[in-house]
Amino acid sequence: MMSKQRKAIKVESHNVLIVRRLINRQVNLWCNQCNAKVSMVTPERAALLRETTPRFIYRKVENKELHFVETSDGKLFICCRSLTTDI
């Protein structure tokens, strides 16, 4: 007698959509707390990097738990070095 063998093949696919806007790019700016020129990102981008909400990032900025720079035209940038610390 011959036995039959069955093989199951599972195929998974993932679609990745990358949306880039100028506001989500990082820039190199001077961070007074790090005392160095570092990569900085917008609060929205920081939230994406930390997998949280922009409001959480703004709250951390208000509590001075993240390093940040405000430009003369009112734009806020978050220091990427301070994002890597456990917040």
Dump pLDDT digits (tens) for 19-64: 445 455 678 999 999 999 999 999 999 999 999 999 999 999 999 9
Can you give the pLDDT at residue 5? 77
Beta bridge partners of residue 28, listed in sequence order: 39
Would you state the structure tokens that stand for residue 30, as one six-digit string? 């001077």
Split at pLDDT 50, 70, 90, the class of 85 is: confident
**Structure pTM?**
0.67
Q: Which residues neighbour 34 within 8 Å (Cβ) at sequence distance 6 or greater?
A: 67, 79, 81, 82
Can you give the pLDDT at residue 45? 94
Split at pLDDT 50, 70, 90, the class of 87 is: low
Residue 46 parent element (H or E): helix 43-50
